[in-house]
Amino acid sequence: NKKILVTAGPTREPIDPVRFISNRSSGKMGFAIAKAAKNYGAVVDLISGPVNIPAIPQVNIIDVETSLQMHESINILLKKNEYDYIFMVAAVSDYHIKNKKNKKIKGSHKSLNLELYKNPDILKEISVKSKAKLIGFALETHNGEKEALKKLKKKNLDYIVLNYANEDGAGFEVNTNHVFLYSKNGDKIEFPLDRKDRIAKL
């Protein structure tokens, strides 16, 4: 009977009507957490960026594309709901394109400049708007523990899950992961390489 919000997948930042900037997130970890939570009896809302994963029965899925849409969608849900836990698994794009073109950019230019603008840090804002236990994710390539602990503090989180983008069988795209969980109280647990759905249940 806990009320849980999960975000999953990448966001897409449009450049013109046919192109976008995005990242390699598949959404598998976030969907696995949403499904595990539902199976444990929770009421789950899942905000998902563009992914290729079937819907989870009895999970309320809200599809979004851009970071700003994810931000808007979370704000609407936070006004209507008191969540017990929020898992911010999505790989939110830090920037969007300043002057998105309404017409397709032609291939005749010698060079092109894209100006990028910072997106809001959705997770950091949530700590002010919600009393839920907050779980963030950190995907790093170097100094993982240091970076993850910095984010735990900066974003006022209760927990942060660290995984590495440059480790075989972990991070983006694959069905498996190897993660470290840190709590604000200084606890650290390592979950050895395993399927994402099994890690989600733990």
Give the interface with ligand CTP as residue ranges (CB under 6 A): 67, 88, 90, 92, 94, 119, 121-123, 136-139, 151
Q: 137 with 32: CB under 8 angstroms?
A: no
Q: 65 with 50: CB under 8 angstroms?
A: yes
Least separation in angstroms between CB 182 and ligand CTP: 13
Nearer to ligand CTP, 17 or 145 (CB): 145
23 is catalytic: yes
What letter represents residue 94's amino acid? D
Least separation in angstroms between CB 194 and ligand CTP: 20
Residue found by looking up tokens 């992914």 in the block: 51
CA distances from 90 to 27, 83, 174, 199 (A): 7, 17, 15, 17
Q: 132 with 49: CB under 8 angstroms?
A: no
First-to-last CA distance in the chain?
A: 18
Least separation in angstroms between CB 47 and ligand CTP: 11
- The catalytically annotated residue of 23, 60, 75, 156 is 23
Least separation in angstroms between CB 191 and ligand CTP: 17
Nearer to ligand CTP, 85 or 137 (CB): 137
Nearer to ligand CTP, 84 or 94 (CB): 94
Nearer to ligand CTP, 151 or 196 (CB): 151
Buried b (16+ CB within 10 A) or exposed e, 130-150: bebebbbbbbbeeebeebbbe
d(CA 155, CA 185): 15
Catalytic residues: 23
